Amino acid sequence: MSSSQSIGFITVADYLQSELTSETKHEYLEGQLYAMAGASKNHQRIISNLVRVFSGHLRNTPCDTFTSDIKVRIGDLAFFYPDIIVACEDNTDNNYYTESPVIIVEVLSKSTRRKDETTKRRLYQTMPSLQEYVLIEQDIVDIEICRRSQSWQSEHYFMGDEIIFAAIDLTMSVNEIYERVVNEDVSTFFDNV
Count other Cβ atoms within 10 Å, centred on residue 75.
Answer: 11
For strands 78-80 and 84-88, give the pairing.
Answer: unpaired
Per-residue pLDDT tens digits for 16-50: 999 999 999 999 999 999 988 888 999 999 999 99
Domain map (residue ranges) of the chain? 39-191
d(CA 114, CA 128): 23
Q: Label residue 94 by pLDDT band (50, 70, 90).
A: confident
Cβ within 8 Å of residue 56, ≥6 positions away: none
Q: Is the pLDDT of residue 183 over 70?
A: yes
pLDDT at site 7: 53
d(CA 104, CA 143): 13
- Assigned CATH for 39-191: 3.90.1570.10
d(CA 183, CA 47): 16
d(CA 138, CA 183): 8
pTM for the model: 0.92
